Structure 1
Amino acid sequence: MSFFNEHFKENYRFALKNINYQKNDIDTKEKIELLCNDDVDIEISNDYVNITLTRTLVADPVKLFEIMVAFEVILFFIDGDQNNLDQSEIEERLINEESDLLDDIAGRISLLIAQITSSYGNPPIVTPPVIMIKKDDAQE
């Protein structure tokens, strides 16, 4: 039995929380690099855990555009389990062991980024449909 099946109810909610897209009117032939970063924010309440996965994508060194997409996931504790877990344990398990849930959300974020970046006549920018946080990053 997985960590989340032991501590959380099967029903959970997720929703788009925020999108911000800024296209800058810059014409350049300079080589750019795309910087993609995921951030996970976890808040624990008495009855549930609220997880926000935010992906940012920026062109560097010339800021042709900036995009940020955030999804929120709410997991509900099985009665009484909220007292048995702390934030660091939930974060460790979520990022390093139980990434299927976040990978599903990352896939949705990837789809939105591709749709938005293709809206100005260029091929879509497809980011990885999985969470992009390394184990070492989560521990810092």
Structure 2
Amino acid sequence: MLDFNKYFNEQYQFTLKNVSFSWVKNDSTETNFEIKISDSINTEIQNRHLEVVFKRKVYFVPEALFNLSVSFAFTLTFRDSICEEEMNSVNWSEAFTQSESPYLANIISRTSGLISSITSSFGQQPLVTPPNIIVKESDF
């Protein structure tokens, strides 16, 4: 497991990047729906900073009710001792997907809370998604 403390300063910034919610009109007589949840992590290095974007999508198969996605990002600053070659030698998306990073835990729990708030706003029980990364698309 990668030691993130070796690469990054302690301070970091996080922000909500995007929220997208859309109702889906369904004229089908289908009564069985599967709710799907998928997560993705994208990373980008710029000026000794690593931006990590976590995105969670919630949708139904067959398409019905709503489509929802929430993206949060956090930015880490590389330590002065880390050279450019070291910065680029790691697949950061994979490293964060496979770790239990506290940075990632923070924004995933916020994502889960936001999804719960949004889905409860139309008078039903809130949909509470797991506060951890879903490596493979899952049925909920």
Query: Structure 1 length as normaliser, TM-score?
Result: 0.85
Structure-1 residue corresponding to 2:33: 32
Give the counterpart letter for 1:19 in structure 2: V
Distance 1:78 1:88 in 2: 15
Structure 2 runs not aligned, ≥5 long: none
State the Cα RMSD in Å.
2.1
**Alpha-carbon contact 2:24-2:63 (below 8 Å) kept:** no
Structure-2 residue corresponding to 1:72: 73
1:93 Cα deviation from its structure 2 partner: 2.5
The reply to whether residue 20 of structure 1 matches residue 20 of structure 2 is yes
Q: Identity percentage over the alignment? A: 34
Distance 1:126 1:66 in 2: 15
Count of residue correspondences: 134
SS in 2 for 1:109: helix
**Alpha-carbon contact 2:23-2:66 (below 8 Å) kept:** yes
Give the counterpart letter for 2:132 in structure 1: V
Distance 1:107 1:87 in 2: 29
Distance 2:100 2:76 in 1: 13
Distance 1:71 1:44 in 2: 17
**Alpha-carbon contact 1:104-1:130 (below 8 Å) kept:** no
1:111–1:37: structure 2 CA closer, same or farther, 3 Å change rule?
same
1:46 Cα deviation from its structure 2 partner: 2.7
Structure-2 residue corresponding to 1:50: 51
Q: Which has the higher contact order (CA 8 A, sep 6+)?
A: 2
1:1-140 aligned within 5 A: 3-26=3-26, 30-83=31-84, 84-86=86-88, 88-133=90-135
